[in-house]
Structure 1
């Protein structure tokens, strides 16, 4: 009886969110321009604007942003500490085994960042045996551990900490998203720069517990509308240096864009 009641409650996430009038969204609050804290310590950025617009289209009056990190996102959403994650999670088969994902809302890429003036590193092969920084629990960490021979992989809670350490010489390079690394370097005046070509493309979605099919369906419908009516284009142009994210999403193969 308890199991049945539990399952019913768990399967009614969308109704519960609407009844509560609050959508609980997890993000790192430390990954600009995607999400970070402004001068008044309020969450801001691409993910925040997307979350607020999404809540409006779901007829939910308020978004409660909950600070977390990539190592805790899956555990937290499965434990009902928040309703969904909107923080640039790359959609991977391993993650799909534990949570469900929305249709993609971001396309990103990984760059190598080095200290300004470092001419010895231009490609992944140049990182063999070196100290490489990554944000813990990200696909960049997986890439570094699997693809860089003999690398001393050092993890950080977020990219801000890693790039700052890179600027101080604590690591030889850092793997980080193309937008995020450049934004942080410009905003904080860090002596770091991207080198070489993008290492790989990342397709990012919003994640939910696997017993949230109605919430996922509603989110996917709202995202499709935001792509079609220009809302997502406007948000991305504001935060991503004029990039039209909706146009990038439309270029994805059909099997990846759902």
Structure 2
């Protein structure tokens, strides 16, 4: 009886370890959070989720040898979702910040970005970041640009929106003087939606995007980094980049 009890206990313990996996083992499938309004990185077209980030995360998963299940949420819900374990990873033009590093882990950077100013086409009073002092500025809720406005632009009234199209519409209809947001998105929006807005000023606060990963998954971080490096080395990254942004400049 004693032998049987020890045997059953040992098998139960082994079974528990196998089910939970562990930091040293990759899972078959990971849940990846993204947004749907950050063109051209992630958006919905003809009922499908498309964009630079979507192509990138699929290429990384294929190279690393795991599957992904894509879930969408508002941008400001991504970091909390990673903290609670609702998502394993997230890809949504997520800038690397020291504050976020305390809550989540990051892959190696995969895209260098910065902030750009968009104003109405006939606006000649706003030419650079200094002209935004005391103005109403539209941006995205929970973004690094909202923090930048608070810390660097005096007396600015920040209007934050969950959906980016609301921020651009605010500038177009005059309820905001300008939008300050990630340069690739600002330029893509203006280039694809007609002549209502224009970009002014320089590129501000250069920052890198990375894949966000919930803490405690060291093997996943390592696997993602290795896959990123491989798709950069074998030309896959360049193919994805040129698909969405045109030929890369050296």
**TM-score over 0.5 for the pair:** yes
Change (3 A) 1:55 1:26: same
Are the counterparts in 2 of residues 167 and 190 from structure 1 also a CA contact under 8 Å? no
Is residue 2:230 matched to residue 1:219?
no
Are the counterparts in 2 of residues 11 and 211 from structure 1 also a CA contact under 8 Å? no
Change (3 A) 1:11 1:127: farther
The equivalent of 2:61 in structure 1 is 55
TM-score, length-normalised on structure 2? 0.88
The equivalent of 1:15 in structure 2 is 26
Q: 1:172-203: per-residue Cα shift (whole Å, max 9, x none)?
A: 00111221112112323361111011112111
Q: Equivalents in 1 of 2:80, 2:21: separation in Å?
A: 15
Where 2:239 maps in the other structure, the secondary structure is: helix
The equivalent of 1:66 in structure 2 is 71
Q: Equivalents in 2 of 1:10, 1:110: separation in Å?
A: 41
The equivalent of 1:105 in structure 2 is 110
**Greater Cα radius of gyration, structure 1 or 2:** 2
Work out the number of aligned pairs and report it.
234
Is residue 2:43 matched to residue 1:36?
yes
Q: 1:149-194: per-residue Cα shift (whole Å, max 9, x none)?
A: 1001000113222112211112000111221112112323361111
The equivalent of 1:250 in structure 2 is none
The equivalent of 2:131 in structure 1 is 126
Per the TM alignment, residue 107 of structure 1 is displaced from its structure 2 partner at its CA by: 0.7
Are the counterparts in 2 of residues 184 and 190 from structure 1 also a CA contact under 8 Å? no
Q: 1:74-115: per-residue Cα shift (whole Å, max 9, x none)?
A: 110121212101111111111001111000011111101101
Per the TM alignment, residue 243 of structure 1 is displaced from its structure 2 partner at its CA by: 2.8
1:157 to 147, 154, 162: 162
Q: 1:195-219: per-residue Cα shift (whole Å, max 9, x none)?
A: 0111121111111111110000000
Where 2:169 maps in the other structure, the secondary structure is: helix
2:175 to 165, 170, 177: 170
The equivalent of 1:252 in structure 2 is none
Where structure 1 has 5 or more consecutive residues not aligned to the other structure, the ranges are 248-258
